């Protein structure tokens, strides 16, 4: 599992700890402040772990999508969305990631947006907002989903961080539960997601989880997409919060505008 090093000026602490000081794929632990209670486990060993100042992700060499992305929203990190300048991930081999040309004609022919996994608005208060546009953080997401319920849920993340003056930790990623049409201009092997999951958690032990289909209508109430943490883990085939010996979370969804 290759680890892409942060740029020299980064203030992140990234540690791979393994027995005897030797990092092996079967016992390595990833330590990054984006992941509360540990980063997800169970992603393929071919994934590249990319750690940036505003997110950590596991980029899959086969699908060319991130199996999971972890980020943290705080009152200070939130800002107005600015210009979008898409770019391939410079820390990945060209054969391991998509380029901006691969998305040409896809919005028109497939009805998709370039959907951020770590969202722009939640990081626009930082000097690193442009890193949200790197294509390892982007997926081809249904336009109605991206501009409708998914965006409204992201706005609620920001509202919660502001109103409660707290950090909101988010894990998110794609689902591949049916075959989707490929990007028409992509020249690399890849796979378009059929849906998305998201788990939000706070340091005081509250959690909310959601799954939405990429074909969800713009009018979908994101509260209707609430699921259990177990369902997210089973469908994503990932284990969340591996450093917790006992998982007993209170319901965070009322703080996101959902009925208890």
Catalytic residue set: 116
**R_g of the chain computed on alpha carbons:** 17
Burial 173-188 (b: 16+ CB within 10 A, else e): bbbbeeebebbeebeb
Which tokens hold the place of 128?
A: 């690193």
């Amino acid at each position: 599992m290759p680890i892409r090093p942060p740029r020299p000026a980064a203030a992140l602490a990234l540690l791979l700890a393994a027995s005897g000081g030797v990092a092996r794929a079967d016992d390595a632990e990833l330590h990054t402040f984006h992941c509360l209670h540990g980063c997800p486990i169970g992603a393929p060993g071919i994934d590249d772990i990319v750690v940036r100042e505003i997110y950590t992700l596991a980029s899959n060499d086969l699908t060319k999508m991130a199996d999971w992305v972890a980020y943290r929203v705080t009152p200070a990190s939130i800002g107005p969305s600015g210009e979008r300048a898409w770019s391939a991930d410079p820390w990945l081999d060209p054969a391991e990631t998509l380029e901006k040309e691969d998305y040409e004609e896809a919005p028109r022919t497939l009805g998709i947006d370039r959907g951020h996994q770590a969202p722009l608005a939640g990081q626009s208060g930082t000097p690193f907002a442009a890193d949200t546009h790197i294509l390892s953080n982007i997926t081809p997401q249904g336009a109605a989903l991206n501009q409708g319920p998914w965006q409204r849920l992201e706005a609620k993340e920001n509202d919660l961080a502001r109103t409660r003056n707290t950090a909101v930790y988010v894990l998110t990623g794609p689902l591949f539960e049916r075959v989707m049409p490929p990007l028409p201009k992509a020249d690399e092997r890849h796979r378009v997601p059929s849906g998305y999951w998201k788990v939000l958690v706070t340091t005081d032990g509250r959690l909310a989880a959601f799954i939405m289909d990429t074909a969800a209508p713009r009018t979908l109430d994101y509260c209707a997409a609430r699921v259990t943490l177990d369902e997210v883990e089973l469908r994503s085939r990932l284990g969340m919060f591996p450093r917790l010996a006992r998982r007993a979370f209170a319901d965070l969804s009322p703080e996101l505008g959902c009925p208890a």
